[in-house]
């Protein structure tokens, strides 16, 4: 977690005359000081900033005392907005593109604009910065030599399961964006489709409540059900399966935990233990009846 500390370092930032073109500028994912000096200088220097939400970017720029014209741009923006950006660049203007947080284009708008710049031979450059996917991956402790960034997990159950089933064959680390509200359903889906893998839920990266929850799907599910989480989440999934043996005793223990400790209904407990263990419904259900009788 980053902490504010009072200190004075004198740095001169100057507005400069920039060549016409598109400047992709990374912004912080939470902690405002995670912005590069070059990013600040670029914002001071460009003719216009194209951003997802002018209020969000306005707050960031206001924090650094930067005043610059802002226009709204997202991937739903029609051809007219892109044409406006191109005609500005043709007139010799420099245009910065940023998103609400992190790197533009990474699960954020900008790709269509950059593609068209490339096709038209327009100068494009990147001013790098924080990215939630890479920050989560760094903290996960999972292998970083090779990984898949899979973007947002789909909302719909079928699409989510199809994605995990496609990725379950990959023996490399996988990085997903997910919301705190859906994280339990998401981890249950991973456990049932990919097996009880080692996963890491990272949340609120660079912010006061930054947290890293690590373990097998079943460990993490227990923790998430005990203490639900809030905020923004990056989920990292190991490429390696964890072979945990689920014998009768482990099934009964997990059901007791769900039904007695967490107060889940037998139906929900069966669903969760099936997802964690990979056991069939009939067998888990039979044990759940025994647990219920003893309660």
Contacting residues toward ligand SAM, per CB under 6 A:
29-30, 99, 101-103, 106-108, 131-133, 177-178, 203-207, 232-234
- Least gap, CB of 14 to ligand SAM (angstroms): 27
CB of 74 to ligand SAM, least distance (A): 11
What order of strands is seen across the sheet that includes strand 211-216?
147-152, 173-179, 232-237, 198-203, 211-216
Q: Nearest approach, Cβ of 205 to ligand SAM (angstroms)?
A: 3
Residues 6+ apart with CB under 8 A from 163: 150, 153, 154
User: Could you tell me where the beta strands, DSSP code E, fall in 189-230?
Assistant: 198-203, 211-216
Nearest one of 26, 225, 208 to 130, comparing CA atoms: 26
> Which helix (DSSP H) or strand (DSSP E) does residue 233 occupy?
strand 232-237
Query: Can you say how many angstroms the Cα of residue 142 is from the centroid of all Cα atoms in its chain?
Result: 16
User: Least Å distance between CB 152 and ligand SAM?
Assistant: 7
Closest to ligand SAM by CB, 133 vs 217, is 133
CA–CA dist 84, 82 (Å, integer): 5
Q: Is 107 or 114 the residue whose CB approaches ligand SAM more closely?
A: 107
Pull the structure tokens for residue 248.
């009768």
Residue at shortest CB range from ligand SAM: 102
Element (H, E) at 79: helix 79-90
Three-class DSSP category at 117: helix
User: Closest Cα partner for 29 from 128, 113, 151, 114?
Assistant: 128
Q: In terms of Cα–Cα distance, which of 25, 21, 19, 29 is closest to 206? A: 29
CA–CA distance from 62 to each of 12, 51, 58, 295 (Å)? Answer: 18, 14, 6, 59
CB of 107 to ligand SAM, least distance (A): 4
* Closest CB to ligand SAM among residues 49, 254: 49
Least CB distance to ligand SAM at residue 64 (A)? 19
200 φ/ψ angles, rounded to the nearest 5 degrees: -135, 125
CB of 232 to ligand SAM, least distance (A): 4
Residue whose CB is less far from ligand SAM, 197 or 203: 203
> Which CB, 177 or 279, lies closer to ligand SAM?
177
- φ, ψ of residue 198 to 5 degrees: the values are -80, 125
Which residue, 103 or 236, has its beta carbon nearer to ligand SAM?
A: 103
Q: Of 82 and 207, which CB lies nearer to ligand SAM in the complex structure?
A: 207
Of 95 and 132, which has the nearer Cβ to ligand SAM? 132
CB of 135 to ligand SAM, least distance (A): 7
């Amino acid at each position: 977690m980053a902490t504010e500390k009072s200190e004075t370092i004198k740095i001169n930032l100057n507005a400069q005359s920039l060549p016409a073109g598109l400047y992709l500028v990374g912004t912080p994912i939470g902690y405002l000081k995670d912005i590069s000096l070059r990013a600040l200088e670029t914002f001071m220097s460009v003719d216009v900033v194209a951003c997802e939400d002018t209020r969000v970017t306005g707050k960031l720029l206001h924090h650094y005392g930067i005043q610059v014209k802002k226009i709204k741009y997202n991937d739903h923006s029609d051809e007219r907005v892109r044409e406006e950006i191109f005609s500005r660049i043709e007139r010799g203007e420099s245009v910065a593109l940023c998103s609400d947080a992190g790197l533009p284009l990474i699960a954020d708008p900008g790709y269509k604009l950059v593609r068209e710049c490339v096709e038209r031979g327009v100068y494009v450059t990147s001013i790098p910065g924080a990215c939630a996917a890479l920050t989560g991956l760094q903290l996960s402790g999972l292998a970083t030599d090779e990984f898949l960034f899979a973007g947002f997990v789909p909302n719909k159950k079928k699409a989510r399961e199809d994605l995990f089933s496609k990725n379950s064959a990959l023996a490399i680390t996988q990085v997903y964006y997910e919301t705190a509200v859906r994280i339990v359903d998401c981890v249950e889906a991973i456990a049932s489709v990919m097996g009880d893998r080692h996963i890491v839920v990272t949340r609120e990266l660079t912010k006061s409540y930054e947290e890293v929850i690590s373990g097998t799907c079943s460990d993490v599910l227990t923790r998430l059900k005990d203490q639900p989480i809030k905020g923004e989440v990056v989920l990292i999934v190991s490429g390696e399966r964890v072979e945990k043996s689920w014998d009768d005793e482990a099934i009964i223990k997990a059901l007791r935990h769900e039904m007695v400790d967490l107060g889940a209904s037998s139906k929900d407990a069966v669903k969760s233990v099936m997802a964690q263990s990979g056991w069939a419904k009939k067998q888990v259900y039979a044990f759940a009846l025994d647990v219920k009788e003893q309660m």
